[in-house]
Amino acid sequence: DCEFVGSILDNTVGKQGIMSYVFGLHLLSCGATSQAVTADGAIGELLSLQLSDGGWAISGNISDVDVTAMTLQALAPYYNARDDVKSATDKAVALLSEKQSDDGGFKSYGTENPESAAQVIIALSSLGINAATEPRFVKSGNTVLSAMLKYLRDDGSFCHTENGEPNFAATVQALMSLVAMRRAMSGDTSLF
């Protein structure tokens, strides 16, 4: 219900940290309206929260791969329309490329995991970048896609740690990234 979504936007965006701007901007980009925040306002806040290295974090001054990727996903619809978004995005994509490990994967809070790879794949796909072939995201012959797929189990689920037990969050995020990548490669609209 649109009234409920508007109420959520009015009462949470900006009051619950950076992720409230990220999720709020997704809703606003999809046509939701708010009395308290506009897409331009949310974009401005996200850009003001960009750290000097080009990424974003929940707190502190050290960028986190997941937060950076999720922020890029929210900003992606505005990449070609706003020079400030384009500049911030280009800097963040360069940072993600720099943070990618030689095996193609990504770490969040010091631990490599499939969810971080999935969020990067979604971000790249949202920007029209093919995570399986983009030279900036191929390290020692490994891609972010191949790094994520090493967490795939025989039953089709994904685990959070290599050779671990099935993990719901890892499976959902990996599936979302595969859908995002397929949509980008097919020329469809982005996942969000």
**Above 90 in pLDDT, residue 76?**
yes
| For range 136-165, the mean pLDDT | 95
The total number of residues written for the chain in this structure: 192
Percent of the chain with pLDDT over 70: 99
The tokens for 44 are 């401005």
CB under 8 Å to 132, separation ≥6 — which residues?
143, 145, 146, 181
| For range 156-164, the mean pLDDT | 93
pLDDT of residue 1: 58
What is the DSSP code string of 48-93?
Answer: HT--TTS---SSSSS--HHHHHHHHHHHGGGTTT-HHHHHHHHHHH
| Angle (deg, nearest 10), helices 65-75 and 18-29 | 30
The helix (run of H) or strand (run of E) holding residue 106 is none
- Write down the pTM of the prediction: 0.94
